[in-house]
A and B are shown apart, each in its own frame.
Chain A
Amino acid sequence: MFKRYTSLSVLVLAMTSAPSLFADENLFGYTYGSETLPKGRSEFYTWQTFRLGKESGDYLGWDQKYEYEWGITDRLQASVYANFNYVDIKGVPGFQDRSDMGFQGMQVALKYNVLSPFKDPIGLALYIEPGYVARDRGTGGDMDGFELETMIILQKNFLDDTLMWYTNIFGEFAWEKIEGEYGHGWGPTVFSGLTYRFAPNWFAGVEGHWDSDFDGFQAHDFQHYDLFLGPVIHYANQSWWATLSVQFNTESGANTPGSSLNLDDHERMEVRLKLGFEFDAKEAKLPEIASGKSAAFVSTK
């Protein structure tokens, strides 16, 4: 048995956030690729997400993540990150007016590359991320929770790896205490995106995610689903990259009165900017080559 929350579904909001793991260069704002950082390499990421628009009133949510990621082996990478949240709420029904920023939580993560999209028929990676949540992103209220995110990452490349399709099957499990009440639930989500390198250093595409909320771990605990879609653009060079993604809330299976969208747990749109920076790295060691030849070429004369 579990207790339902009397406040607006704060657990739902916490669970329907996109996974916060970064793994090397992020071509999308919300969807992940199967590659991992090479051994010995490290990167720093920041992502800034602005959530805008409720059914009425003024609402701005600003989520900040700061992550450090490193390659343990060529197939396994680890990440650690810290999250902060700012809300500016005025006159939104069901929400308390407030304008402040606070520490939102921390996570650690592991990502393992099983198959490479560059030489295997499909790219495949597995991902797990436990974390602590201290603040509700939607309301700014205090909470005390543990979340476990898991993901199967699929990737298929076309046209000399200039056209890439990513799909993530994601599950987030949460156990949380809000306003003295305990609760748990999970939220399966599917992320998918398609991007194309239209010019050197530049990618553009579309991505979306279908997420659902269960206010418990049983099938009858299903609460609602939401569908987000939007464009994404990405730029990268040798030392840094940037991704801008806009997601529009297009459909929901649970409606706010007077709206066709679930604007209690989500907003009308999200704008996410990611920046990634590579730090100095040691030269990767070349594995032994079976041929054993050390010369650049062999004369055939």
Chain B
Amino acid sequence: MMHRRSIIRVLPATAALLSGLRMAYAETYLTTEQAQRLLFPRESLQAVSVTLTNDQRKAIAKASKVRVREDTLSAWRTSSGGWFLADNVVGKHEFIDFALALTREGTVKGVEIMTYRETYGGEVRHPKWRAQFAGKKASAPLELDNDIKNISGATLSSSHITEGVRRLLQTWDLVLKHL
């Protein structure tokens, strides 16, 4: 049988190490309503029910080179004809909730990270990184190490947020602008 003294020696060391653990939890930085007020401070928004057809999903996936996981959009049209889209992308363990604001012409007005649940990669919340998307259109490449700078140490989050914006811009170009 295992020597009891061995177990007794290991336990205090393990407890000491565990005491240094960071107890983290999901961070919700903005609710949908807060993100709407931040991105469209002087406009009213009206929810629009949009469900993508299979053909639309395929067209968006082909144009953006990104999988379309859901067929229902969380979309609001603004009083000026712009769009507020709430969406999520895959994080390392869970999902990253973000919001995209588009002008009437389909140009990115802003990107906000609403909820971030991961251990690493939270630097995508930094305003300087998100500001890279401002002014982008559906015709933009929106690729890391191309027109979007990567954040070293946060590559997965940077990549997926960039792909999410690219997918939503194609969604606007192929579906929303025709509504």
Interface residues of A (CB under 8 A from B): 25, 38-39, 41, 44, 46, 62, 71, 74-75, 86, 88, 99-101, 116, 118-119, 159-162, 197, 200-201, 236-240, 277-281, 284, 286-287, 289-300
Please give me the residue from chain A that is nearest to B20 by CB atom: A279
In whole angstroms, how far apart are the Cα atoms of A26 and B109 in the complex? 39
Picked from A39, A280, A292, the residue with its CB within 8 Å of the CB of B22 is A280
Q: Are B6 and A278 in contact (CB under 8 A)?
A: no
In whole angstroms, how far apart are the Cα atoms of A298 and B128 in the complex? 11
Interface residues of B (CB under 8 A from A): 1-3, 6, 14, 17-18, 20-26, 38-39, 67, 69, 89-90, 92-95, 101, 103, 105, 107-112, 117-120, 123, 126-132, 134-135, 144-145, 149-156, 158-160, 163
Give the chain A neighbours of B69 by CB distance below 8 A.
160
Q: Are B155 and A118 in contact (CB under 8 A)?
A: yes
In whole angstroms, how far apart are the Cα atoms of A25 and B118 in the complex? 12
A-B contact pairs, 19 of them (CB 8 A): A44-B17, A75-B152, A88-B2, A101-B6, A118-B155, A119-B145, A200-B94, A237-B24, A237-B93, A238-B24, A238-B26, A238-B118, A278-B119, A286-B128, A289-B128, A289-B132, A297-B39, A298-B134, A300-B103
How many Cβ-Cβ contacts under 8 Å join chain A to chain B? 142
4 shortest interchain CB distances as A-B pairs = A297-B110, A38-B153, A238-B24, A293-B131
Q: Can you name 9 extra interface pairs (CB under 8 A) apart from A237-B24, A300-B107?
A: A101-B6, A160-B69, A237-B93, A287-B152, A291-B131, A291-B132, A295-B134, A298-B131, A300-B103
Q: Are A119 and B144 in contact (CB under 8 A)?
A: yes
Give the chain A neighbours of B25 by CB distance below 8 A.
238
In whole angstroms, how far apart are the Cα atoms of A261 and B23 in the complex? 45
Q: Are B154 and A38 in contact (CB under 8 A)?
A: yes
Please give me the residue from chain B that is nearest to A42 by CB atom: B20
Q: Are B135 and A300 in contact (CB under 8 A)?
A: yes
Q: Are A299 and B109 in contact (CB under 8 A)?
A: yes
Q: Are B120 and A280 in contact (CB under 8 A)?
A: no
Known contacts A38-B153, A38-B154; is A296 also within 8 Å of B109 by CB?
A: no
Give the chain A neighbours of B94 by CB distance below 8 A.
200-201
In whole angstroms, how far apart are the Cα atoms of A291 and B118 in the complex? 26
Q: Are A278 and B39 in contact (CB under 8 A)?
A: no
CB distance from A46 to the nearest CB of B (A): 8
Q: Are B120 and A41 in contact (CB under 8 A)?
A: yes
Picked from A236, A296, A300, the residue with its CB within 8 Å of the CB of B130 is A296
Picked from B14, B112, B159, the residue with its CB within 8 Å of the CB of A119 is B159
CB distance from B22 to the nearest CB of A (A): 5
In whole angstroms, how far apart are the Cα atoms of A165 and B163 in the complex? 21
Please give me the residue from chain A that is nearest to B127 by CB atom: A296
Known contacts A100-B3, A238-B25; is A300 also within 8 Å of B93 by CB?
A: no
Known contacts A86-B2, A286-B126; is A296 also within 8 Å of B112 by CB?
A: yes
In whole angstroms, how far apart are the Cα atoms of A192 and B151 in the complex? 29
